[in-house]
């Protein structure tokens, strides 16, 4: 069992629990460096450790009403820090899963091309999305994205500035992605990410 907090600690924790900023500063100054070192050991990144240290003490302030003044504060702080590290790793795992899904989707496109039914259905959706664009956006989009022309080449061909070409591409790409998401959800959005990212 953890030892009880000393009398001076109890007074500081009571003040912190009641919303004293000076008590918070005292706790921060006493423990933040130790928490940072612990986090650095866990995450192996100075930037992540610094960010997690700040977030730990923000959470401590937000959850100050849950503090038990009769117990040492450091186990409570470290528990908050540990939960934040867990959240960091969980987010990282989700990001890796998304990247793997995009890579897998792109590999499927290359491996199966026209024989792949999902590809055919998704390509038909993309064609529909492109056809729904305003005339000049559609023309610029096809020239750049489907024919592989440079912004300069399209600018000269259509007699418009390269900035206008860029604006059309940004707006058209956003419209196509939104069309796909609204029509077909996640799978088509992954395909759009592979085909349409600039």
pTM score, whole prediction: 0.47
In a domain, 57, yes or no: yes
In a domain, 108, yes or no: no
Are residues 90 and 11 part of one domain?
A: yes
In a domain, 47, yes or no: yes
Total domains, the chain: 2
Task: Pick the last residue of a domain from 34, 65, 95.
Answer: 95
How far apart, in whole angstroms, are the C-alpha atoms of residue 143 and residue 59?
Answer: 51
Q: Domain of 65? A: 7-95
Are residues 120 and 67 part of one domain?
A: no
The tens digit of pLDDT for each residue in 142-171 reads 898 888 888 889 889 999 887 888 888 878
Are residues 125 and 81 part of one domain?
A: no
The tens digit of pLDDT for each residue in 24-51 reads 999 999 999 999 999 988 888 888 889 8
How far apart, in whole angstroms, are the C-alpha atoms of residue 21 and residue 3?
Answer: 25
Are residues 88 and 128 part of one domain?
A: no
Exposed e or buried b per residue across 122-150, where buried means at least 16 C-beta atoms within 10 angstroms of its C-beta: bbebbeebbeebeeebbbbbebbbeeebe
């Amino acid at each position: 069992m953890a030892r009880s907090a000393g009398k001076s600690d109890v007074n500081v924790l009571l003040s912190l629990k009641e919303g004293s900023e000076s008590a918070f500063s005292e706790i921060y100054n006493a423990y933040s460096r130790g928490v940072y070192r612990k986090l650095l050991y866990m995450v192996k990144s100075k930037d992540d450790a610094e960010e997690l240290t700040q977030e730990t003490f923000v959470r401590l302030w937000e959850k100050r009403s849950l503090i038990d003044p009769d117990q040492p504060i450091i186990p409570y702080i470290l528990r908050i820090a540990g939960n934040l590290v867990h959240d960091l790793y969980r987010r990282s795992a989700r990001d890796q899963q998304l990247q793997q899904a995009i890579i897998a989707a792109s590999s499927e496109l290359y491996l199966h091309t026209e024989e792949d039914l999902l590809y055919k259905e998704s390509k038909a959706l993309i064609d529909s999305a492109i056809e729904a664009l305003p005339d000049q956006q559609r023309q610029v989009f096809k020239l750049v994205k489907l024919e592989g022309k440079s912004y300069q080449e399209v600018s000269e061909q259509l007699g418009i500035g390269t900035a206008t070409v860029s604006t059309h591409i940004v707006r058209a790409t956003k419209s196509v992605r939104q069309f796909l998401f609204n029509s077909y959800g996640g799978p088509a959005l992954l395909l759009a990410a592979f085909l349409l990212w600039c």
